[in-house]
């Protein structure tokens, strides 16, 4: 019986080849092909690691409002901090921004978790037409025109001043970011902060209940950017 079975399989295979068909792979082979993860492309020196990099925003309150922490992702970008002119660009994915995640509140130093329903409501309002309007403005960009090392706050630290143009909500203004550069696990970590006014970019700060509940115009933003690199010059 076993011999006849193999003869039948051989005959079917021959027929399939003759008419340009293919037999399905064995069950074990198919499962292995489905579950095998795709190889991750290696980052080029200076390219931003999108999986690790994040931006965090602290939104202040007005009146009876509440402070919020916001977390967002980077869409693309690269930075050569050793290039004095036009060292790179960061593109922020505004559609990825989420309000009051546990990590966001931790990073912007706000205490206590927020109920999921409240988080979802705040996120919906933030991304909607009344505030960020991400359908019309899905990205923001920081085009860096110059980079230069500045005196360190402590011995052994490396600090940089990045100057360029920041575009948000369709409007562009000059921006300066002071960031510390740290070498870790073969990458460069740039950790810096800056502040902006929503109204400067044509955004009306959210308010409700005749203005008794709302958020502040000023936003404090922290960038935690990881950049691929084989060696940190000067170290």
What pLDDT, in 10s, does the model give residues 52-95? Answer: 999 999 999 988 788 999 999 999 999 997 899 999 999 999 99
Of 67, 73, 72, 61, residue with least CA distance to 110:
67
Fold (topology level) of 54-228? Lipocalin (2.40.128)
Are the beta carbons of 128 and 171 closer than 8 angstroms?
no
What pLDDT, in 10s, does the model give residues 138-183? Answer: 999 999 999 999 998 888 899 999 999 999 999 999 999 999 999 9
**Structure tokens that stand for 16 in this block:** 């399939």
Structural domain boundaries of the chain?
Answer: 2-34, 54-228
Would you state the pLDDT for residue 185? 84
Residue 153: exposure state from Cβ atoms within 10 A (0-12, 13-18, ≥19): exposed
Of 142, 166, 149, 139, residue with least CA distance to 79:
142
Q: Please say if the pLDDT value at position 101 is more than 60.
A: yes
Q: Please say if the pLDDT value at position 51 is more than 80.
A: yes
Would you state the pLDDT for residue 230? 59
d(CA 173, CA 165): 6
Taking the whole predicted model, whether its pTM rises above 0.85 is answered as no
Would you state the pLDDT for residue 129? 95
Q: What are 98's strand-pairing partners?
A: 71
What pLDDT, in 10s, does the model give residues 110-141? Answer: 999 999 999 999 999 999 999 999 999 999 99
Would you state the pLDDT for residue 36? 61
């Amino acid at each position: 019986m076993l011999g006849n079975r193999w003869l039948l399989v051989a005959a079917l295979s021959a027929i399939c080849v003759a008419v340009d068909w293919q037999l399905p792979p064995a069950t074990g082979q198919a499962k292995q092909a489905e579950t095998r993860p795709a190889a991750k492309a290696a980052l080029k020196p200076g390219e931003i690691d999108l999986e690790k990099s994040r931006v965090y925003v602290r939104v202040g309150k007005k009146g009876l409002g509440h402070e919020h922490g916001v977390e967002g992702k980077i869409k693309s970008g690269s930075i050569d901090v050793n290039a004095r002119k036009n060292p790179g660009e960061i593109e922020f994915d505004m559609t990825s921004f989420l309000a009051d995640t546990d990590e966001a509140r931790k990073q912007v130093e706000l205490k206590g978790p927020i109920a999921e329903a409240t988080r979802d409501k705040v996120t919906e309002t933030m991304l909607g037409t009344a505030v960020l309007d991400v359908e019309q403005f899905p990205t923001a960009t920081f085009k860096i025109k110059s980079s230069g090392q500045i005196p360190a706050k402590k011995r052994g630290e490396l600090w940089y001043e990045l100057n360029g143009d920041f575009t948000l909500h369709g409007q562009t203004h000059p921006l300066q970011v002071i960031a510390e550069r740290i070498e870790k696990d073969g990458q460069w970590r740039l950790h810096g902060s800056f502040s902006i006014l929503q109204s400067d970019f044509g955004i009306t700060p959210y308010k409700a209940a005749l203005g008794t509940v709302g958020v502040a115009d000023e936003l404090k933003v922290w960038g935690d950017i990881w950049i691929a690199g084989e060696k940190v010059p000067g170290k």
